[in-house]
Structure 1
Amino acid sequence: MEFLVPLFELIKCSGGPTGRYLNQHRKLEENVNDLRRKVNDLNIRKQDLELKKEAEIRCRKVVKKEVENWFETVRSTNVEMEKIEMKFRVVSYFSRARLGRFVCRKIEEVERIYQQGSFPEGVAVDGLPATGVTLTTTDLEGQMDVKEQICEYLRGNEVGMIGVCGMGGIGKTTIMKHINNQLLKENQFDAVIWLTVSREFNVLKLQDDLACALDHCLPKNKLEWPTVLMEILERKRYVLILDDVWEKFALLDVGIPESASHNGSKLVITSRSIEVCNSMGCKVFRVQPLSRVESLNLFLRQVGDGVLQDPTLKELVNLIVGECGGLPLAIVTIASSMKGVDDAFEWKNALNELRERVTSVKGSDTIIFEQLKFSYDRLKDSKIQNCFLYCSLYPEDYHFDKETLIENWIDEELIDELQNRQAMHDRGHTVLNKLVNNCLLEKVMIDNVKEGVKMHDVVRDMALSIRGDHFMVKAGIELEDIPSEPKWKESLEKVSLMNNSISEIPLISPKCPNLSTLLLQNNLNLEKILGSFFEHMHGLKVLNLSHTGICYLPNSISNLTKLTALILRGCCQLRHLPSLAKLTTLRKLDLCRTDINAIPHGIEMLENLTYLNLYARGLKDLPMGIISRFSKLQVLKAWLNSKGEEAAKLSKLEIVLGAFHVLQDFEGYAKSLPSQGPTKYWLGVGSPKSGYFGNHPWFNNLEDVEVDNEVCFINCKIGNEDFVLLPKDIKTLTVEHCRNLKSLSNFSVFHEANELKTCTISWCEEIECVVDLSLSSCNSLQNIEILRLRSLLNLHELVRVEAVASTSHTPTPPGIFTSLQEFYLIGCSSIKKLFPVHLLLGFQHLEYIEVRHCKQLEKIIAEEDEENQNVDRRGSITTIVFPKLKTLHLIKLPELKSICSSRVRIPAESLKYLSIINCSKLRKIPFSIPLLKTGQPSPLSLEYGYVHPKTWWKLVEFDDPNAKDILSPVVLDYSSYEDEELA
């Protein structure tokens, strides 16, 4: 063959097709290598896009079809590449050129596919919104036939609009809640939308609620709203449930298509009126009362089966169930009020009361009101009854936060004044439980986070019927003007106009001498109250204007001498208050987040205050001597520079949020505190940058009185010779920008702070160790659950132990970090070794470890003098550490060489989250995988894992040979990771 080479060279020089042929023949290896690189680049881009795809899917987005097609093209390319590799290994001399020509074409194709994979507009589009909300509901007794009939029509195409009618309390809403949840499970519709309409129909509110349910922002021009909503709905296959419709309305005016069934969409309304259902063109289903058997079963579920064991009670129970008329709401409410009663005379009396009520009234609504009022009357205590009636002042279907509701009851003096505020809150919870247990309030979840309560709309109607002309409630109905003066009757005691769109209170002067409560909160557009409005409200006790746009208050406020609560929270435009000197009965003054820049005139006269919130950005200092005049204060929230000894004189203070700009003032406060100081506090100490306190995350929940007892030191001079006194019941300690601090051992009584749970140290440049045991034993560290260390540039070790002569190893400090669950080390550039091995016995509860941006860190777990120990370790015992570890994040640790020695293992069975990113010198992972009885490795509970670079992951070794095989399929290359800037 060698004689052909000169000939080939001659032909090659001649150019043309023959030259290209020979070029492809000779450069086959080079072209195959080039193709390999390009396919590798293509797969790297594919990995990046898959990571983005996974992130988008978690955000409920839908991956574009073109992206999925591109992934499929890449998969096909990889298959073809494998075939090319196979042909390349066995290609004959005479076939090289043909294969080379194919490889050249493939290189061009791969380059084109790579360019197509840029997707500058992203890999996903917004997917469908959440299909709906699963609603909490009670067991459905009876009514199964009508439920199934409604479901059958919703699944079919015959009917587009369905009306579910029946008297109040008969179970319409309960049936539809069950159907709502069932439709969500069946997932046959793009959206299942639940909206409560209620008696005070307002088209703008309904449109706004509908837009919210569709996760869509409406334009500013309200005339466009129907068209916008119509366009959105016509693109979906939906079920729209409008609960509690009281009157006919035009669907097109709202933006609801009339021919909903054109694409299988459905509209369901529930109403007490069959005429409303018929007039809107619905297929009507009437909900019938429960049968006698169903009624008895429901009654016994509430009151208990034990009542049937007594023959006398059994007969009375059957008679009382009969008086309930088959209405589930009445049955549940009456049964709840009789729970625990075993005296026959009391049951007879209850039967007589019910009979008298039902026979003396006419009309279905009135009948059920009287049935429900039976349970209200059985509360006996007038204050508990008034607590219940107070709830009717809020909008229909309002979800009450428990603590806020109890605070409102305290403002209204509905809770007996007890020795302290906590006792009053405890009493309030007892009242709440009684109302819930009697089914006059029901439990709900607020934002799926915490438990609250709500009032059934029929129960609310009953409550309002009890108060009659004494209450005027027009809450949450998008009211733009306050009721005209003739509607303000002299008999009025409470008026609620909250959660509306009122912009101005005109020049009227209602004559309401008995009015005690006026609720105007959450009228965001309310800017003006003209001067004469309060002139004839001399009995007013509670005035709530919070979260309004009010700029100033009329001077007539100064004459409301019986006022006990003035709530102006969130009035961001309010800059001036009239004199408060005459308001000597005031017990609550809330100026949180107002724009006032001076202490209100006459505030020193308010010696009956029990609640004072002066958190306003424009306020700087309290005049000397004022704070001590408020000797009855139970709650104080004021980020003003406080004087320690003066604040400590407030012996009844239970909740305090305050600031001491001078360390000595804080120490004076701590030393002067009585033995029983505040039970809940957040105290800022030092001179932080402007706006620090206002931007603190705590302020998102200013009403959350369950905040941990926290002291935050910012920019304080705490030197080696200083020992700062801490409250013994401190739960959270935060230290920031305290330059002279060497360790936490500079805090005296630190070893007595046995309730300390969370400790955060940040930006303290001179801190060398967290704890110096030569200065303090720090026994409180055994209770710390969360330890955060951030930007401590001179930190060298967690615990400094005093040297002990003639010992070969460091002694184990007692009680160090034995309760620690979460550990964070971020931006600490000097530390080289993190956990000394002698501390590991204290980390049995550690679940979360996050270590980031530590430039010199070499080891996570370090043994003393490990490099000098020439011990034969072949027979050494393996130590298991961090047995409960669920999360491990090791991010940007360029010098990290080892997590621990080969004698130490970390069990991986509890691991859920793993990130090892940019730790290029790490060579071995010490995870251990438990084995099943079959000898196979146990499956892990890992939910996600990120590693980077992936090439490092392929090379890293594992102490347990099973670990890599199990972890590799679930970890992703986090190549899109961006370093977080250190603040």
Structure 2
Amino acid sequence: MEFALNKIDKHWDKSRSLNQHMNDLKRKVMELNGVKEDIDSRMKAELQPRKKLKTEVQLWLENVERINGEVQKLNERIGESSTLTRGFHADDVLKRTREVGELIQQGKFEEGLVVDNPQWIGQVLSTTRLSGEGTKACMEEIWKCLMDDEVGKIGVWGMGGVGKTSIVKLINNQLLQEREKFDIVIWITVSKEMSIAKLQKDMASKIGVSFCGDADEITRAGMLFEALSRKRRSVIILDDLWQEVPLDKVGIPEPSSGSKLVLTTRSFDVCRKMSCRAIKMKPLVEEESWKLFSEKVGRGILNIPEVEPIAKKIVERCAGLPLGVITVASCMKDIDDLYEWRNALKELSDRKKSVNGLEEEVFQQLRFSYDRLKDPKLQHCFLSCALYPEDWEIEERELVRFWIAEGLVEEMDSRLADFDRGRAIMNRLLNNCLLEDFSKWGNRRRVKMHDLVRDMALHITSEKPRYFVKAGMGLREPPNVQEWSEDLEKVSLMRNRELEVFYPLEMSPPKCPMLTTLLLSGSGIQSIPEGFFSHMDGLKVLDLSENSIESLPNSISNLKNLTTLLLAGCSRLKDVPSLSNLRALKELDLRGTAIKDVPHGMQNLSSLKCLNLNCTNVDEIPNEIFPRPSCLQELNVVGAFIGGKEVGELKKLETFEGAFYDSHNFNVYVQAFHGREEPRQYFIVVGERGMEMEDSASKTIALEVGRVYPNQIMLPRHIEKLVVNDNGTESHEEEYLIFSRFFLTSLGNFSSLKILEISCLYNTKRLFSPNCVPPNLEQLGVSKCYQLEDIIASEERGRVTMEFCLPRLKKMTLRALPELKSICSVDAVMICKSLERLEVISCPKLKRMPFKLPKVEPSLPQELSITLETIVLCKSTEWADPDFKSFLIPKLIRLM
């Protein structure tokens, strides 16, 4: 017992003395940090170029940082201890105090902080002066990453000839001046046919490592790793990388503690696979290209009359690639003969090799990018982009559809999977700088080929595979008959607008047995020779869209290998020959044509996957026109009425746009998808045909109430947008809330419904009951409902204020509602924390604004756009939440 009491007494003594010990430790730590501040000041003075910190100084600084952290954690533990347990920390406090005292003594460094650094840390490289603001910005971004300790790997990527090597050479030389930050800068030019053995050998020569003659790859990697690990602050530059480099197999340590890896590549995929901070180097803009060209060719030459306009056209051919600009300018330097300038422009335009150096310096680099695709299908996908006119912005979906039609994209189980695979190919081409991304319209991506890249593709296709391309060249006369050679595989005369006749009517049909693709869209073609397709047995893709043809030759009916027939926008086309023999046909597009009847032989098209029959002159799609079973994945017949049973039997349907005559056919269609997956995208009109689809939602139903009322409607379970309109052809009394009786299931049960648009419900006084409002509604629009009094109506009165929470509502539009008195019932409020736009127009009897700010915090977006008539602001207007009114007043756009 006495022993236990003595132990407790000693513990209490430690606890009482702990405060004194802690005070001692704090004073020591303050003294240590004062010494460190002095060291930092000395470092600034002593750490000059060609000097580095002594190892003992570096270790001392690291120990100071460590002890500061440990003392802070000790303070936190003591602060969390109870009175009984605080004494247990006394020994730790004393130990830290001794360590701090030792560090104070060690921190004198009377013989200095630094030692000489080896003068050589890397090789100075020959450079060329770079031009352009984009180049300057790219260099600044690279340098910023090099100075950022959080960035270990930097990938500079861009198309061949854009100046990646030049800019990184400048970076290399600038790094050699940063001796206080890096110990060594290593430049390795990676050969096109990279091998780990060669890369190891090049690395060893730069850092002074000698391999034994019989050392294997693993041993060499270990030797390099050991040597590079000792160089803690290194920069390794790998120039012209064409594929991912396994750093561990080479022997390069993963960058850490201030070391860096910089690489240049034409492929974004290389940057991604190697986890680099990717920095894209872009081509020069027009003014910068011209300035660079002028400097290289000499202003004296450009002062010769008529040379400058020719020179500017030549510069345009270089597509902003510094390498191309410099090479062409070098070829033309000191040439003062106008005829030679004109010839150079023609040769560049004709893609000939006569201009010295151009083929070798530019085309061959671009050709190598093409060769590295390796996969022949990928290469063919790239080459097919050259079928479009020069500088043409190609819509991604159109291009992928073309690849699918040609069989270049391996077909999957669904159309969506096909397009996903096609987009993956597109990304490969974009990441290898063979295509450029020109996205401008929301999610619709468009791509474009650089002129020089397209020239390179056309150069390849001048031999094998053989293309004949005169797209977008303004042709008015047909090409020479001799150009329709037997070895042709693809022909494009698209976008010539005024061609009218693309092949002489009096000539014998061309013999092109190897031809798989014929693109003639948008060329103003008025007629096609009757036997033109007689010797084209291999034809797969025929695009005649947007031409003035009135009929098609019967020879089309014998194209047994045809997979795609595109006739969209041929507004004069009235007759299509029988399709019975086109059993390989997978896509048929007749939208916007003048045909009045569905083409003969549709029942035989067992391979058909995509059908567009959106033609205003076709009133109704006959029953049983589709083969059984059907492969249809995409169907557009919104211009004509179709039977619900007919569509419901299409088991593979993924995308559907169509019109049903009445609610019965629509309900039959909806019932058909019970127990199986509905189309992932649809636009369905009930009661009207020919309505245009908007891009606002992928699953849309539009109801013409006058045609389907009073029958109840079944809605697909994943509907996203609902449009309800009354065309006013029938008059019916309204004795109940329309949305409580009109639909078989309450709208409140549709969690996917985001957009609701209601108009022209002439006899409707109230729309919703409280439990009928869709919970995830994002947009609500109500207009021209001239008898409407309440949006959300409740029969209950004299109860606690009801709150309607519409957390995702972004836009509410109320227009031309002359009898509207309330948005929701008299004693209710609406909490819409996501509201971005509110419009109240021509609603003169609306006297109450029910909106309320969220209880927790006002989280309405600051950019909230409001359009209210001045009457809404009158003194008699009641606001459910005065704070909401105060929030809105500064933002209002008054309509006088």
Q: TM-score, normalised by structure 1?
A: 0.54
Residue 710 of structure 1 and its aligned partner are, at CA, apart by 0.4
Correspondence for 2:846 among 837, 848, 857: 857
State the partner residue of 1:441. 435
- The answer as to whether partners of 2:436 and 2:449 remain within 8 angstroms in 1 is yes
Residue 652 of structure 1 and its aligned partner are, at CA, apart by 0.6
Correspondence for 1:471 among 447, 467, 475: 467
- The answer as to whether partners of 2:396 and 2:444 remain within 8 angstroms in 1 is no
Change (3 A) 1:671 1:145: closer
Amino acid in structure 2 at the alignment position of 1:846: L
- The answer as to whether partners of 2:749 and 2:774 remain within 8 angstroms in 1 is no
Tell me how far apart the structure 1 counterparts of residues 618 and 834 of structure 2 sit (CA, whole Å): 45
Residue 291 of structure 1 and its aligned partner are, at CA, apart by 8.0
- The answer as to whether partners of 1:615 and 1:637 remain within 8 angstroms in 2 is yes
- The answer as to whether partners of 1:843 and 1:882 remain within 8 angstroms in 2 is no
Tell me how far apart the structure 2 counterparts of residues 562 and 574 of structure 1 sit (CA, whole Å): 23
State the partner residue of 1:559. 558
**Secondary structure at the counterpart of residue 783 of structure 1:** coil
**Secondary structure at the counterpart of residue 433 of structure 1:** helix
Amino acid in structure 2 at the alignment position of 1:534: F
Correspondence for 1:758 among 755, 758, 762: 755
State the partner residue of 1:512. 512
Change (3 A) 1:466 1:300: farther
- The answer as to whether partners of 2:700 and 2:721 remain within 8 angstroms in 1 is yes
Amino acid in structure 2 at the alignment position of 1:610: K
After TM superposition, the structure 1 = structure 2 runs for residues 692-707 of structure 1, keeping only pairs within 5 Å, are 693-694=690-691, 696=692, 698=694, 707=697
State the partner residue of 1:788. 781
- The answer as to whether partners of 1:733 and 1:760 remain within 8 angstroms in 2 is yes
Change (3 A) 1:666 1:447: closer
Tell me how far apart the structure 2 counterparts of residues 447 and 880 of structure 1 sit (CA, whole Å): 36
Question: Aligned pair 1:414/2:408, yes or no?
Answer: yes
- The answer as to whether partners of 1:853 and 1:892 remain within 8 angstroms in 2 is no
Tell me how far apart the structure 2 counterparts of residues 653 and 288 of structure 1 sit (CA, whole Å): 48
Tell me how far apart the structure 1 counterparts of residues 130 and 873 of structure 2 sit (CA, whole Å): 70
Correspondence for 1:431 among 411, 414, 425: 425
1:504-525 CA-to-partner distances (Å, cap 9, x unmatched) read: 13223111000000000111x2
Amino acid in structure 2 at the alignment position of 1:652: K
Correspondence for 2:169 among 283, 289, 293: 293
After TM superposition, the structure 1 = structure 2 runs for residues 46-85 of structure 1, keeping only pairs within 5 Å, are none
Amino acid in structure 2 at the alignment position of 1:787: L
Question: Aligned pair 1:483/2:479, yes or no?
Answer: yes
- The answer as to whether partners of 2:637 and 2:657 remain within 8 angstroms in 1 is yes
Residue 833 of structure 1 and its aligned partner are, at CA, apart by 2.4
Residue 842 of structure 1 and its aligned partner are, at CA, apart by 2.9
State the partner residue of 1:743. 738
**Secondary structure at the counterpart of residue 627 of structure 1:** coil
Amino acid in structure 1 at the alignment position of 2:802: T
State the partner residue of 1:522. 522
State the partner residue of 1:812. 802
**Secondary structure at the counterpart of residue 668 of structure 2:** helix
State the partner residue of 1:215. none
State the partner residue of 1:709. 699
Tell me how far apart the structure 2 counterparts of residues 389 and 379 of structure 1 sit (CA, whole Å): 12
1:746-766 CA-to-partner distances (Å, cap 9, x unmatched) read: 323333321111000100112
Correspondence for 1:732 among 721, 728, 744: 721
1:452-504 CA-to-partner distances (Å, cap 9, x unmatched) read: 22112222222222232411111111111232221111111100111113111
Residue 647 of structure 1 and its aligned partner are, at CA, apart by 0.7
Tell me how far apart the structure 2 counterparts of residues 862 and 635 of structure 1 sit (CA, whole Å): 43
State the partner residue of 2:231. none
State the partner residue of 2:572. 573
Tell me how far apart the structure 2 counterparts of residues 433 and 819 of structure 1 sit (CA, whole Å): 34
Tell me how far apart the structure 1 counterparts of residues 589 and 656 of structure 2 sit (CA, whole Å): 14
Tell me how far apart the structure 1 counterparts of residues 720 and 267 of structure 2 sit (CA, whole Å): 44
State the partner residue of 2:595. 596
Question: Aligned pair 1:768/2:770, yes or no?
Answer: no
Residue 800 of structure 1 and its aligned partner are, at CA, apart by 2.3
- The answer as to whether partners of 2:869 and 2:895 remain within 8 angstroms in 1 is no
- The answer as to whether partners of 2:801 and 2:828 remain within 8 angstroms in 1 is no
Residue 707 of structure 1 and its aligned partner are, at CA, apart by 4.5
Amino acid in structure 2 at the alignment position of 1:645: K
Tell me how far apart the structure 1 counterparts of residues 802 and 533 of structure 2 sit (CA, whole Å): 71
**Secondary structure at the counterpart of residue 446 of structure 1:** coil
Change (3 A) 1:670 1:336: closer
Amino acid in structure 1 at the alignment position of 2:579: L
Tell me how far apart the structure 2 counterparts of residues 439 and 883 of structure 1 sit (CA, whole Å): 43
Tell me how far apart the structure 1 counterparts of residues 781 and 189 of structure 2 sit (CA, whole Å): 49
Tell me how far apart the structure 2 counterparts of residues 287 and 568 of structure 1 sit (CA, whole Å): 44
Residue 786 of structure 1 and its aligned partner are, at CA, apart by 0.5
**Secondary structure at the counterpart of residue 428 of structure 1:** helix
Tell me how far apart the structure 2 counterparts of residues 693 and 843 of structure 1 sit (CA, whole Å): 36
**Secondary structure at the counterpart of residue 829 of structure 2:** helix
Residue 882 of structure 1 and its aligned partner are, at CA, apart by 8.6
1:573-614 CA-to-partner distances (Å, cap 9, x unmatched) read: 111111111111110000011111111122222121100000
Residue 846 of structure 1 and its aligned partner are, at CA, apart by 1.9
Tell me how far apart the structure 1 counterparts of residues 202 and 788 of structure 2 sit (CA, whole Å): 75
Tell me how far apart the structure 1 counterparts of residues 197 and 273 of structure 2 sit (CA, whole Å): 12
State the partner residue of 1:683. 684
Change (3 A) 1:177 1:599: farther
**Secondary structure at the counterpart of residue 831 of structure 1:** coil
Residue 732 of structure 1 and its aligned partner are, at CA, apart by 0.5
Change (3 A) 1:319 1:423: closer
Amino acid in structure 1 at the alignment position of 2:677: Q
1:10-45 CA-to-partner distances (Å, cap 9, x unmatched) read: xxxxxxxxxxxxxxxxxxxxxxxxxxxxxxxxxxxx
Residue 661 of structure 1 and its aligned partner are, at CA, apart by 0.9
Change (3 A) 1:389 1:288: closer
After TM superposition, the structure 1 = structure 2 runs for residues 274-673 of structure 1, keeping only pairs within 5 Å, are 290=166, 293-294=169-170, 312=201, 314=203, 321=240, 334=266, 336=268, 339=271, 363-446=357-440, 450-469=444-463, 470-500=466-496, 501-505=498-502, 506-507=504-505, 508=507, 509-523=509-523, 525-627=524-626, 629=628, 631-639=630-638, 640-673=640-673
Residue 637 of structure 1 and its aligned partner are, at CA, apart by 0.4
Correspondence for 1:829 among 795, 801, 818: 818
State the partner residue of 1:210. none
Change (3 A) 1:605 1:443: same
Change (3 A) 1:587 1:427: same
Change (3 A) 1:853 1:378: same
Correspondence for 1:891 among 865, 869, 885: 869
- The answer as to whether partners of 1:552 and 1:577 remain within 8 angstroms in 2 is yes
Residue 769 of structure 1 and its aligned partner are, at CA, apart by 2.0
After TM superposition, the structure 1 = structure 2 runs for residues 180-199 of structure 1, keeping only pairs within 5 Å, are none
Change (3 A) 1:332 1:566: farther
Residue 431 of structure 1 and its aligned partner are, at CA, apart by 1.1
Tell me how far apart the structure 2 counterparts of residues 341 and 878 of structure 1 sit (CA, whole Å): 47
Tell me how far apart the structure 2 counterparts of residues 322 and 772 of structure 1 sit (CA, whole Å): 65
Amino acid in structure 1 at the alignment position of 2:789: H
State the partner residue of 1:25. none
Q: TM-score, normalised by structure 2?
A: 0.59
Amino acid in structure 2 at the alignment position of 1:460: R
- The answer as to whether partners of 2:685 and 2:701 remain within 8 angstroms in 1 is yes
Tell me how far apart the structure 2 counterparts of residues 312 and 302 of structure 1 sit (CA, whole Å): 12
Work out the number of aligned pairs and report it.
586
Amino acid in structure 2 at the alignment position of 1:845: S
Give the RMSD, CA atoms, in angstroms: 4.1
State the partner residue of 2:76. none
**Secondary structure at the counterpart of residue 493 of structure 1:** strand
Change (3 A) 1:541 1:707: farther
Please list every run of 5 or more consecutive structure 2 residues that lacks an aligned counterpart in the other structure: 1-125, 139-160, 175-185, 191-195, 207-235, 243-262, 275-354
Amino acid in structure 2 at the alignment position of 1:826: R
- The answer as to whether partners of 1:862 and 1:900 remain within 8 angstroms in 2 is no
Residue 854 of structure 1 and its aligned partner are, at CA, apart by 2.0
Change (3 A) 1:581 1:897: farther
